Amino acid sequence: MAVKAWDSSLTLPGLIVESRAVVDGTVEVSGRLASAGAICPDCANPSTSFHSRYDRTLSDLPVSGSTVRLRLSVRRFRCTHTSCQRRTFSEPLAPPVGRRYGRRVGRCDALVRAAAVALGGRPEARMMARLAMPWSRDTMLRVLRRGDPAAELPPPARVVGIDDFAWRRGHSYGSIVVDLERRQVIDLLPDRRRDTVIAWLRQNPQVEIICRDRGPGYGVAASEAAPQARQVADRWHLFENASAAFLAAVRSEMLCLRRALAPTGPVDPATLTRAERIQWDGAQLREALNR
């Protein structure tokens, strides 16, 4: 009785195990899916019209240090719906069993992902091989890149920043949209056109605050598509504009500043930096020409 309870708790949900065997030190489990039929992926109509079956092999978590392989007998069904173009389709695997073209049982990916985060690359591959899960480094990287399907989706962005960025500097520009509360890029728009930004904002009516540059482009788009949102200038653009205004004011009053800094006579060129020397020579030249 105790063995039966242990056994059923290890069996994947939706899977009927038909046999187990140990072949060359590898535990081979044969099984099939428990469902009576399947739903056509094109027309979404159920079908129990059996067509054929084929075998798939998936790796599973090891048992007592031995590699485990699941040999799964997968059925193909006919789609009997008259208006559907599809003739046959294979039954889909439930997520705990595996992905459509996957080569591992679903519960392996969580372990691979955790090990990839902790160890990464070759150290992970070596550790997994010692744990009787000899998967390649590339396989583990693919699992990591695919992300965690069980992870919760983040809430829709409430505070966004919109700015332009260069696909290719000087040639083509797009727009970048950042969730400023999570500090993550959430979208890249193909261009800077007003219609493109308007379409994005209309798809995201939850946006409450839009942080943008001080040009009219994004502002007009935001006023039209998201009138409920408050528009603010971001800190980087404020500092950039203030810096440009300060430099322009200093340049326009350079001669007065020079005189104020050296009220008793001409500036000693030897005390100037190289950049200041170039500016000073230019100022002297202009002064001589205008005299």
Q: Is 18 near Zn ion (CB under 5 A)?
A: no
State the burial class of residue 108 (Cβ atoms within 10 Å of its Cβ: 0-12, 13-18, 19+): buried
Give the separation between CA 141 and CA 149, rounded to whole angstroms: 15
Rounded to the nearest 5°, which phi and psi values hold at 99? -95, 170
Give the separation between CA 167 and CA 122, rounded to whole angstroms: 34
- The count of chain residues that interact with Zn ion, using the rule CB under 5 A, is 7
* Contacting residue, 42, 208, 253, 276, with Zn ion by CB under 5 A: 42
- Using the minimum distance from each CB to Zn ion, give the nearer residue, 88 or 206: 88
Between the CA of residue 286 and those of 86, 205, 250, 263, 268, what are the distances in Å? 82, 57, 17, 20, 18
Residue 185 Cβ vs Zn ion, minimum distance, rounded to whole Å: 39
* Contacting residue, 20, 53, 86, 259, with Zn ion by CB under 5 A: 86
* Contacting residue, 43, 94, 119, 180, with Zn ion by CB under 5 A: 43
Residue 44 Cβ vs Zn ion, minimum distance, rounded to whole Å: 7
- Using the minimum distance from each CB to Zn ion, give the nearer residue, 44 or 270: 44
- Using the minimum distance from each CB to Zn ion, give the nearer residue, 86 or 230: 86
112-118 long-range contacts, CB within 8 A, separation 24+: 112/139, 112/140, 112/143, 112/144, 113/143, 113/144, 113/148, 115/140, 116/140, 116/141, 116/143, 116/144, 117/144
- Using the minimum distance from each CB to Zn ion, give the nearer residue, 83 or 273: 83
Q: Within positions 63 to 82, which residues make up the interface with Zn ion, using CB under 5 A?
A: 79, 81
Task: Give the E-state strand segments of the chain in sequence order.
Answer: 15-23, 26-33, 38-39, 46-47, 50-63, 66-78, 88-90, 159-168, 172-179, 184-189, 209-212, 230-233
Give the separation between CA 3 and CA 240, rounded to whole angstroms: 71
Q: Is 39 near Zn ion (CB under 5 A)?
A: no
Residue 77 Cβ vs Zn ion, minimum distance, rounded to whole Å: 10
CB under 5 A: which stretch of 10-18, 86-94, 97-105, 277-285 binds Zn ion?
86-94
Give the separation between CA 267 and CA 273, rounded to whole angstroms: 12
- Using the minimum distance from each CB to Zn ion, give the nearer residue, 40 or 211: 40
Give the separation between CA 86 and CA 67, rounded to whole angstroms: 38
CB under 5 A: which stretch of 5-13, 20-28, 34-42, 62-70 binds Zn ion?
34-42
* Contacting residue, 29, 40, 72, 197, with Zn ion by CB under 5 A: 40
Residue 40 Cβ vs Zn ion, minimum distance, rounded to whole Å: 3
- Using the minimum distance from each CB to Zn ion, give the nearer residue, 85 or 290: 85
- Using the minimum distance from each CB to Zn ion, give the nearer residue, 66 or 80: 80
Query: Can you give the length of the chain in residues?
Result: 291
Question: Where do contacts with Zn ion occur on this chain (CB under 5 A)?
Answer: 40, 42-43, 79, 81, 84, 86
